[in-house]
Amino acid sequence: MILVIAESRGSKLNRASWETIAAAQQLGSPIVVGLPGAGGDSLQAAAAELAEAAVQEVVTIESPSLESYTADGYTAGLESAIRELAPGIIVLPHTYQTRDFAPKLAARLDRAILTDVIGIKNVDGALTFVRPIFQGKLTAEVVPEGLGPHLITFQLGAFRADAVARGPSPVAVRTLAVSVDAAAIRQKPEAPFQEGKQAVDLSQAERIVAVGRGIKEQSNLSIARALAEALGAEIAASRPICDAGWLPMERQVGSSGQTVAPKVYIALGISGAIQHLVGMKGANTIVAINKDPDAPIFEVADYGIVGDLFEIVPALSKALSE
């Protein structure tokens, strides 16, 4: 039996849970989806959603100590559940939360754990897992060793949530009560929060839209802002824009400004002078839009569009909202 550990906050399921079910379905059957929590309506609502998948059943793993996530609590609760359910393999999404407890759970069970897996292969009858290594420069095929059940965490986005096969009708949802000693939980978490917008810390931004001289006039910043809004990104700029006072100094990216490492960096009308480059070279994916095909920014961009940003950027904002 394949045990999927799903993740939710309140009644909201983490989308990655669906990706994990898709991966599990690739592994085989039967599949049981476990959802830890403290019980109650929100947990039941999330569980009901999971029941739409083509799995054997959904089990809510319940204890009052599992109300908020803690590493100690989840490890203890899931350890109990696993001993009870006796799966052949345990799969989880490689979320921040999973990274916090899954290795501990594996060490507690003394079982192998493979993390950040992007694919599954069957090599000579043995289940082999594909994962990136050396920052994606190489790909490794790995087999877990020792007694099962083994734990596998899947990289976010490696499997597609919309590839999950749905069942003809919702499956059964049952409760598995586990005993977790509240006194043994050493972490005391506070409520999660989002960082306030007063201080601009571009170095933590996951998405950035940056403008350069190509924006020509201050009034044109609005199209960049619209794109940033559509993308859920922070706005930033190269030095001349901040020098001219069109954006505050905290938004300057470059050797005399901020160094950023977002997942995506969209450079609008930025030539790519080296002082700017060194501030954003850590970006995962760089998109450059510039009317000059020889602009140095295209040397470092992953995606480039040569053209008029005043036409392309509004089109991009529109395409994103679709």
Partner 1 sequence: MSTLILWLLVLAFGGAFAAQVATRVRLIVAAPNTITLDHLGARIRRFVVNVIGQRQTIVERPVAGLAHAFVFWGFIAFAGYTTAEFLRGLGLVDLTHARWFLGYRIIITPFAVAVIVGILYLLVRRTVARPVALGEKVSVESVVIALLIAALMITFLLAWRLPPESVAGHVNWWVHSIVILVFLALIPASKHFHLVLSPLTVFLKSEELGHVPNLDFEREQVGLETVKDLGSKSVLDALTCVECGRCQINCPAWGAGKALNPKAIILQTQAALLAGHRDAKLGEVYSEQVLWQCTTCGACESQCPVGIEHLPVLIGARRGLVSNGDAPEYLGAMYNNLERRSNIWGLNYDQRQKFVDSASLETFDPTRHDVLVWLGCAGAFEAEYQKSLRSLFEILRSRNVRFGVLSKERCTGDTAKRTGNEYMFQELAAANIEDLKAAGPKKIVTSCPHCVKTIGADYRRFGYEVEIVHSSVFVEQLTRDITASGERVVTYHDPCYLGRYSGTVDEPRALLNRFGAQVAEPERTRKNPYCCGGGGGLLFADQEEEPGSRISDVRFKQLENTGASTVVTACPFCSIMLRGAQSSAANGERADRVPAQDVQFVDLMTFVNGQLNRT
Partner 2 sequence: MKIGVCIKQVPTRDWRPQVNDAGSWIREQDASYETNEPDAYALEESLRLKEKHGGEVVACSAGPGRVAQVLREALARGADRAIHVDDEALGAADAFVVADALAAAMKDERFDLILTGLQSDDQGFAQTGVILAERLGLPHATIIMEIDIGDGGLRVKRELEGGWFQWVSMPLPAVLTIQSGINQLRYATLKGIMAAKKKVIRREAMPPQATPRQKIVKLYLPEKVKQTVMIEGTPDEAARALVKSLRDDARVI
Q: Name residues contacting partner 1, limited to 160-179 (CB under 8 A).
A: none
DSSP conformational letter for 315: H
Look at residues 275, 66, 105, 303 and name the one whose alpha carbon lies nearest to residue 189: 66
Contacted entry of partner 1, partner 2, none for residue 52, CB cut-off 5 to 8 Å set by kind? none
Distances in Å between the alpha carbon of 39 and those of 42, 47, 59?
Answer: 8, 10, 11
Q: Name residues contacting partner 1, limited to 205-264 (CB under 8 A).
A: 213, 239-240, 243-244, 249, 255-256, 259
**Binder of partner 1 out of 140, 274, 315, 320 (CB under 8 A):** 274
The least distance separating partner 1 from the CB of residue 212, rounded to whole angstroms, comes to 9
The least distance separating partner 2 from the CB of residue 140, rounded to whole angstroms, comes to 5
Determine contact, residues 298/290, Cβ cutoff 8 Å.
yes
Residue 125 within binding range of partner 2, rule CB under 8 A: no
Site string for partner 2, 215-244 (x = CB under 8 A): ----------------x-------------
**Binder of partner 2 out of 41, 86, 96, 125 (CB under 8 A):** 96
Contacts 24+ apart (CB under 8 A), 257-263: 258/202, 258/203, 259/203, 260/202, 260/203, 260/205, 260/208, 260/236, 261/203, 262/205, 262/206, 262/207, 262/208, 262/233, 263/206, 263/207
Residue 284 within binding range of partner 1, rule CB under 8 A: no
10 Å CB burial of residue 147 (0-12, 13-18, 19+) is exposed
DSSP of 258-280, one letter per residue?
B----SEEEEES----HHHHHHH
10 Å CB burial of residue 231 (0-12, 13-18, 19+) is middle
Residue 187 within binding range of partner 2, rule CB under 8 A: yes
The least distance separating partner 2 from the CB of residue 30, rounded to whole angstroms, comes to 26
Residue 140 within binding range of partner 2, rule CB under 8 A: yes
Residue 38 within binding range of partner 2, rule CB under 8 A: no
The least distance separating partner 1 from the CB of residue 51, rounded to whole angstroms, comes to 48
Residue 137 within binding range of partner 2, rule CB under 8 A: yes
User: Contact residues for partner 1 (CB under 8 A)?
Assistant: 213, 239-240, 243-244, 249, 255-256, 259, 272-275, 277-278, 281, 296, 299
